[in-house]
Chains A and B, each alone.
Chain A
Amino acid sequence: MSAKPASTKPASTKPASTKPASTKPWRDVIALADLEPNWVTRVQVGQRLIAVYDTPSGIHASLALCNHGGADLCDGYFDGHVIECPLHQGAFDVRDGRPVAAPATRPMRVLEVRVRDGMVQMRL
């Protein structure tokens, strides 16, 4: 795991989702400096809970609730690029949402992210 503070990390350069890029406008979600370094940070945007990951390859994000049992991934163990659900330890690669450990079998929904002027932005 990188020891660099979150504030030095670039955002992931490519959208993690396999879906076509959204046409919705970018909006600020959290300041880069407020992210937990090398960990997952919970962010609430409107009605949504979002998990923002500070990883060795940049900032990634996904919906915060596990698509298996509905637990909050932000309370889970995070290591490198893998977020593990706190309830059953199902795990996902945060770069593309790919499930990497049972009981997770479906990809989680990842969100398009960029960093501008010290702010993590997403199209929501």
Chain B
Amino acid sequence: MTQGVVTPLTQALAEGKLTREDLKSLMQRSDGPALRRLALWLLVLAVTATLITLAWDSWLIWPAMLLHGVVLVHHFSLQHECVHYTAFRTRWLNDLVGQICGLIIMVPHRFFRYEHCDHHTYTQLTGKDPEQVPMPRGYGEYLLYLSALPYWKTKFTEVARHAAGRLSEAEKRFIPREEYAAVIRDARVMLAIYALIFAGMAASGWWGLVWYWIIPVFLGEPVMRFIRMTEHVGRPEVAQMSENTRTNLVSAPWRFLCWNMNYHAEHHYVASVPFHALPRLHERLRDHIHVEPGGYLGAHRDILRRIRAQSREGRE
């Protein structure tokens, strides 16, 4: 008989970890939870932006910008939810909010969607997963990744390459041919909007966005790199979802910021489940996935332990 491809979800259903009724209930979408969270999100942004204003004439502006930046870089989490169409039930809201988030953090939405599809298909498989963060070979590589310098280098190169009308061979594997032009257009539109914003600041003489947006994003990105490492780095490079992904148990403020994406293994099991139902899915799957009770710090302790072990093996 013609069967669908085996996915973590089909496995979970076949093994009785989830029933079809559970799945149906967990997948239900609604605009309400995301709109309420978004309202709180805007309030938090207003508070952190106000802290920058209050600290304007002192050195405290730097920690204020870092704090604001930590919130800004978490637009990635909301964009990620929109990429899966699980933030809002209304489909166009996911597209609109995802595009805005992408503009804030320089991640073109359509390109991210295609790249992310392959990340879900080939999670943690070296050479196939386009979003794989490689296991650092030493402390130097670990710190370099956390600096976000390699990330920004890749991101600027990627957007510039697309705007110049070129896609890499790896990108052509996950972007359908009929979408090449749209991906290139998106990068050009994004750069044009940035150019317009800078031209506007130059014309008006008001450079506030540099302090409220650009510097904070650069200051905050290492925190996002720290979090992104906890999802898969150091886990086995195998196809089994129960092995290759970490769920990190973190406190409520972090769960708020990351739109519950700390329940990462659950998300990979059933990507159609919206952020607000992931804690319920966690209750169903917690015994079948890898859970890091120590949260983000626990995950990094694990990564550092593995780097140490690698170094020891290298010396022996």
Q: Which residues of A are at the interface with B, using a C-beta cutoff of 8 A?
A: 36, 39, 44, 47-49, 64-66, 69-72, 75-77, 79, 82, 84, 86-91, 100-103, 105
**Is there a chain A Cβ closer than 8 Å to B251's Cβ?**
no
Number of A-B contacts (CB under 8 A): 81
A75 and B84 in contact (CB under 8 A), knowing A101-B91, A105-B179?
no
**Is the CB–CB distance between B13 and A75 below 8 Å?**
yes
Neighbouring A residues of B120 by C-beta, 8 Å = 87-88
A88-B117 contact, Cβ under 8 Å, with A65-B4, A102-B110 = yes
Give B77-95 as 1s and 0s: 1 = Cβ < 8 Å from A's Cβ atoms. Answer: 0000001111001010000
Given A105-B178, A105-B179, the answer on whether A86 and B3 have CB atoms closer than 8 Å is no
Contact indicator B7/A77 (Cβ below 8 Å):
no
Q: What residues of B have a CB within 8 angstroms of the CB of A75 in the complex? A: 4, 9-10, 13, 20, 23
Complex Cα distance, B181 from A74, in Å, reads: 32
Task: Using C-beta atoms within 8 Å of the partner chain, give the interface range for chain B.
Answer: 20 to 34
Tell me if B2 and A48 are in contact (CB < 8 A). yes
Q: Out of A71, A84, A91, A102, which one reaches B5, CB within 8 Å?
A: A71
Min Cβ gap A54→B in Å is 13
Residue ID in chain B nearest A100 by CB atoms:
B91
Which residues 152-187 in B have Cβ within 8 Å of A in the complex? 176, 178-179
B2 touches A65 (CB 8 A): yes
Q: Which residues of A contact B27 (CB under 8 A)?
A: 77
- Given the interface pairs A71-B5, A72-B4, the reply to whether A103 lies near B114 with Cβ below 8 Å is yes
Select the residue from B2, B9, B24 with max chain A CB neighbours within 10 A: B2
Interface string of B4-35 (1 = CB under 8 A from A): 11010110010000001001100101000000
Is B3 within 8 A of A49, CB to CB?
yes
Please give me the residue from chain A that is nearest to B116 by CB atom.
A88
B271 at the interface (CB under 8 A from A): yes
Which residue of the partner chain, among A36, A71, A77, contacts B4 with CB atoms under 8 Å? A71
- Expressed in whole angstroms, the Cα–Cα distance for A76 and B271 within the complex equals 10
Question: Could you list 7 examples of A-B contacts with CB < 8 Å?
Answer: A47-B1, A69-B121, A70-B4, A71-B10, A79-B89, A89-B85, A103-B113
Q: How many angstroms between the C-alpha atoms of A7 and B20 in the bound complex? A: 21
Given contacts A71-B5, A76-B272, 12 further A-B contacts (CB under 8 A): A44-B1, A48-B2, A49-B3, A65-B2, A72-B3, A75-B20, A77-B272, A89-B84, A101-B91, A102-B176, A103-B113, A105-B178
The answer to whether B1 and A49 have CB atoms under 8 Å apart is yes
- In the bound complex, residues from chain B placing their C-beta under 8 Å from that of A89 are 83-86, 271-272
CA distance A79 to B90 in the complex (A): 10
Q: How far is the CA of A76 from the CA of B110 in the complex (A)?
A: 21
For A105, give the chain B residue with the smallest CB separation.
Answer: B176
**A interface footprint on B97-132 (CB within 8 Å = 1, 0 otherwise):** 000000000000010011001001100000000000
Q: How far is the CA of A64 from the CA of B176 in the complex (A)?
A: 22
B2 touches A49 (CB 8 A): yes
Of the candidates B7, B29, B83, B86, the one having the most CB atoms from chain A within 10 angstroms of its own CB is B7
A47 and B2: CB pair below 8 A? Answer: yes
Q: State the Cβ distance, B114 to closest chain A Cβ, in Å.
A: 6
Give CA–CA (A6, B114) in the complex, Å.
Answer: 35
A88 near B121: Cβ-Cβ < 8 Å: yes
Which residues does chain A contribute within 8 Å of B5, judged by CB atoms?
A: 69-71, 87
Q: What is the chain A residue whose CB lies nearest that of B272?
A: A77
Please, how many angstroms separate the alpha-carbon atoms of A48 and B121 in the complex?
Answer: 24
